[in-house]
Amino acid sequence: MHRVFSRSRPTPSYRRSSSFRSRQRKVIFSGIQPTGVPHLGNYLGALVNWVHLQKASQPDDQLIYSVVGLHAITLPQDPAQLRQEKRAAMATLLAIGIDPTRSILFHQDEVSEHAELAWILGCLAPLGRLNRMTTYKAKISTGKTDERLGLFSYPVLQAADILLYKATHVPVGEDQRQHLELTRDLAQAFNQQFRAETFHLPQDIITPSKRIFSLRDSSQKMSKSAADPKSRIGLTDTADEIALKIRKAITDSSHEIVWDPKDRPGVSNLLTILHACTTDPALDTSATAEFRNTSLVDFKSRVAEAVESRVAPIRSEFHRLNSDEGYIQSVSRNGAERARSIASRTLQEVKSRIGLEAI
């Protein structure tokens, strides 16, 4: 039987066909790498949407959220630090509002079926397609990363993460759309080669999100890997730390508060943060009239207050949860058991299709 690997059609947008108004049962999967406590950019750009999806879901929908440790080791890691960061990532997800009784929350590396399905899918994935992955090329182009198989093939592991639970929907940002297209194509290739509708072709969920930039270089996304810790706001930063980082945020020589991402990126980034953190729906990102007579110092103070208001409950809950080691372990263990019960059935079906079932 020859291999079939065709391009799938573009996935529809969230508003058109991924809306929660539809009553098709949804299985939603998403993951985050264990890089310790996420920063404000992670939260406003992705994690807050996990909570929104949980709130918007119906009782028969299934939400599966994972701390993806196997992805983390595509780059060198200190073992002791990785253990701490896995726990911190789990505590943060609980602190922001992920409910382990409503969503399956687990560590990917504790469910071995992920790695096994990744190998099977890797036997279908064309090298040329993986070589064109923009995220891989971007990391290699920096010269700071060796060309290793794990980094090259991690989009296949990502596909396995999604398909192992027969996900129907995946919340993605623009930088991950290419990976979801690969996931759909691998699912389609498997279904066609083995003449069975084993996998769904997962759709993207394009949810409203904010792209938050570095406080020190507004041409770069806020990132934990940035050398300057003042470039980012951690979800466990204190009120004083937040105020200091916002006060030191690089803007420009003009003191006028204007929304102009092209010519005033630093101020525009602070406006984005303010809009994302405020509870006032009337405060639009580009609505700057109310700041006409506001000094830059006072404006930054208001941004810091809004961030602290949003972060303080998360910070408090994180510290409470992180001190309860037994609870974190219980959530992780229970989540892994629930995930494994689904993953093992899917892998058994896949192995049976390809002729590797137990005899």
- Mean pLDDT value across residues 209-238: 93
pLDDT band at residue 280, thresholds of 50, 70 and 90? Answer: low
**pLDDT > 70 fraction of the chain, expressed in percent and rounded:** 89
- Mean pLDDT value across residues 275-288: 65
Question: How is 106-164 classified by DSSP, letter by letter?
Answer: EEGGG-THHHHHHHHHHTTS-HHHHHT-HHHHHHHHTSSS---HHHHHHHHHHHHHHHT
Q: What is the model's pLDDT at position 286?
A: 55
- Mean pLDDT value across residues 163-176: 89
Q: Is pLDDT above 80 for 25? A: yes
pLDDT band at residue 15, thresholds of 50, 70 and 90? Answer: very low
Q: How many CA atoms lie within 13 A of 294 on its CB side?
A: 16
Q: What is the model's pLDDT at position 279?
A: 62
Over the Cα atoms of the chain, what is R_g?
22
Q: Is pLDDT above 70 for 6? A: no
Classified as helix, coil or strand, 268 is helix
Q: What is the model's pLDDT at position 278?
A: 87
| Enzyme catalytic residues | 139, 221, 224
- Mean pLDDT value across residues 46-65: 95
Q: Is pLDDT above 90 for 176? A: no
| Cβ count within 10 A of residue 234 | 21
Query: Domains in the chain, ordered, with CATH?
Result: 14-210+325-354 (3.40.50.620), 229-322 (1.10.240.10)
Q: What is the model's pLDDT at position 23?
A: 59
| 142 CB burial (10 A radius; 0-12, 13-18, 19+) | exposed
Helix extents (H) in the chain:
14-17, 40-42, 48-56, 69-72, 79-96, 113-122, 127-131, 134-141, 149-163, 177-193, 239-247, 265-277, 296-322, 325-354
Q: What is the model's pLDDT at position 225?
A: 84
pLDDT band at residue 357, thresholds of 50, 70 and 90? Answer: confident
pLDDT by residue (tens digit) across 74-121? Answer: 989 999 999 999 999 999 999 999 999 999 999 999 999 999 999 999
- Does residue 80 contact residue 87 with C-beta atoms inside 8 Å? no
Q: Which residue has the higher pLDDT, 172 or 6?
A: 172
Rounded to whole angstroms, how far apart are CA atoms 53 and 207? 9
Rounded to whole angstroms, how far apart are CA atoms 47 and 317? 16
- Mean pLDDT value across residues 157-174: 94
pLDDT by residue (tens digit) across 130-158? Answer: 988 887 777 777 666 678 899 999 999 99
- Does residue 18 contact residue 205 with C-beta atoms inside 8 Å? yes
Rounded to whole angstroms, how far apart are CA atoms 264 and 283? 19
For 32, phi then psi, to 5°, come to -140, 140
**pLDDT > 90 fraction of the chain, expressed in percent and rounded:** 74
Q: For the chain, give the mean pLDDT.
A: 89
Q: What is the model's pLDDT at position 19?
A: 43
Q: What is the model's pLDDT at position 143?
A: 66
Look at the block and give the residue holding tokens 């560590």.
107
pLDDT band at residue 252, thresholds of 50, 70 and 90? Answer: very high
Rounded to whole angstroms, how far apart are CA atoms 341 and 111? 10
